[in-house]
């Protein structure tokens, strides 16, 4: 009987620890999250998300200076204003050859802003929140990490965009060549 009670206590203890963690997360994260998301959402409605269409139209042009527009500014604005998953619809303004690279770039930016703009992807908050909570518990200031994640994220998506654009170009050339070989 004694052993059974001890086992039961241990079993319940698992969930008690979970419950304490839950309360910590709810009181520590939710209040800020709700208010911040309310502000972001209101801002988006008042500015009007359709305003970024013009950036989309400009981003499809050839030339070196359009790389940062296509793979940094456009993904940032799309993710900020349209959020995950509607951000990817901005690809419709680009020529076909840039679409995979733009998707790669935009989808890679749905987590880096989470520390400062949680409205972009609240359902996947813990990709950022797991590590951030730990760092906070260790006694560090999380905003330092949040801002670096946001900025380095921009550099990473630019590199991803450029690399994926190259790979797409090589692959489409190869598939065109093999089609020709098959035809002749």
Partner 1 sequence: MKGINKLLERIGRGVGKVVGAMYQAGRDSVDQVIKNVLPFMAFISLIIGIILKTGVGDWIAKTLSPLAGSLLGLVVLSIIIAIPVLSPLLGPGAVIASIIGTLLGTQFATKAIPAQYALPALFAINPQVGCDFIPVGLALGEAEPETVEIGVPAVLFSRFVTGPLAVVLAYFASIGLYTK
Cα–Cα distance, 82 to 78 (Å, whole number): 5
Nearer CB in complex with partner 1: 15/61:
15
DSSP 8-class letter at 138: T
Query: Shortest approach of partner 1 to residue 91 CB, angstroms?
Result: 2
Nearer CB in complex with partner 1: 39/54:
39
Cβ-based neighbour number of residue 60 at 10 Å: 18
Burial class for 28, CB neighbours closer than 10 Å (0-12, 13-18, 19+): middle
Cα–Cα distance, 53 to 62 (Å, whole number): 18
Nearer CB in complex with partner 1: 25/73:
25
Query: Shortest approach of partner 1 to residue 154 CB, angstroms?
Result: 11
Query: Shortest approach of partner 1 to residue 29 CB, angstroms?
Result: 8
């Amino acid at each position: 009987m004694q052993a059974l009670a001890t086992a039961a206590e241990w079993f319940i203890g698992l969930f008690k620890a979970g419950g304490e963690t839950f309360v910590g997360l709810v009181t520590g994260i939710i209040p800020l999250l709700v208010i911040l998301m309310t502000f972001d959402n209101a801002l988006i409605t008042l500015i009007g998300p359709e305003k970024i269409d013009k950036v989309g139209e400009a981003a499809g042009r050839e030339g070196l200076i359009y790389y940062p527009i296509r793979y940094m500014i456009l993904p940032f604005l799309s993710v900020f204003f349209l959020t995950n998953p509607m951000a990817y619809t901005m690809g419709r303004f680009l020529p076909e050859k840039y679409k995979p690279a733009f998707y790669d770039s935009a989808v890679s930016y749905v987590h880096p802003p989470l520390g400062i703009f949680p409205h972009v992807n609240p359902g996947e908050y813990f990709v950022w929140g797991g590590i951030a909570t730990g760092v906070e518990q260790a006694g560090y200031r999380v905003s330092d990490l949040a801002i670096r994640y946001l900025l380095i994220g921009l550099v990473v998506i630019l590199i991803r965009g450029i690399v994926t654009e190259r790979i797409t170009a090589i692959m489409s050339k190869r598939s065109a060549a093999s089609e020709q070989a098959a035809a002749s």
